[in-house]
Amino acid sequence: MTVYETDLPGVGKKFEVELDGERRLVVVIHNTGRREVFVRPEPDADAEKLFDLSDRLARQVGTILEGAYFQPIRTDSIETVLSDDALIEWVNVGPESPFVGGTLAETRLREEIGVSVVAIQRGEETITNPGPDTEIGTDDTLVVLGSRDACRRLHDLAAGDRTLDDDPDDPDAT
């Protein structure tokens, strides 16, 4: 990311931040504290004004953007909580997973782990209600329904970090 800084004599300073591709975010900070925010679709195009902020409001928005009030937590999986102990989770299957090459019936996910596979995302294709003969491949995403503990165990197995023989309560088992 490149930031361009320009003095605006008698006005203040202008900052241009490269966004994705050619677009730039332009912030003009006036000597009075007022901020004007623009977007420029390409470096040589005219900028379109988005909004003005007072000095005080700009500082508040700045602290929000820098994460002073909330730091998002990144997870490797997506989950939707249905109740206290039931959720739908999207679990990616890694190349080291014991499930690769097996069918849903062979994996015994429902019996051994306690999750039900409701769909499989394979590239651009989504297989809904996959049957017992559906084979699991590397890079498949399993959409499963189960308890939080069961989904966590499935996540470790699908990543290839554990085997079905490992004790699910032993965090060091590999």
Interval 81-114: pLDDT, tens? 677 678 888 899 999 999 999 999 999 999 989 9
Contact partners, residue 63, CB within 8 Å, separation at least 6:
69
Report the largest interatomic distance among the alpha carbons of the chain, rounded to a whole angstrom.
Answer: 74
Q: Which residues pair with 38 in a beta bridge?
A: 26, 49
Q: Are 104 and 117 in contact (CB under 8 A)?
A: yes
Q: Distance between CA 91 and CA 118 in Å, rounded?
A: 12
Q: Distance between CA 160 and CA 154 in Å, rounded?
A: 10
Q: Are 138 and 76 in contact (CB under 8 A)?
A: no
Q: What are 10's two structure tokens?
A: 């008698």
The CB density around residue 134, as the number of other CB atoms within 10 Å, is 16
Q: Distance between CA 150 and CA 42 in Å, rounded?
A: 49
Encode pLDDT of 14-56 as tens digits: 999 998 888 999 999 999 999 999 999 988 899 999 999 999 9
User: Does domain 75-159 match CATH 3.30.70.1450?
Assistant: yes
Higher-confidence position of 81 and 10: 10
Domain ranges of the chain: 3-66, 75-159
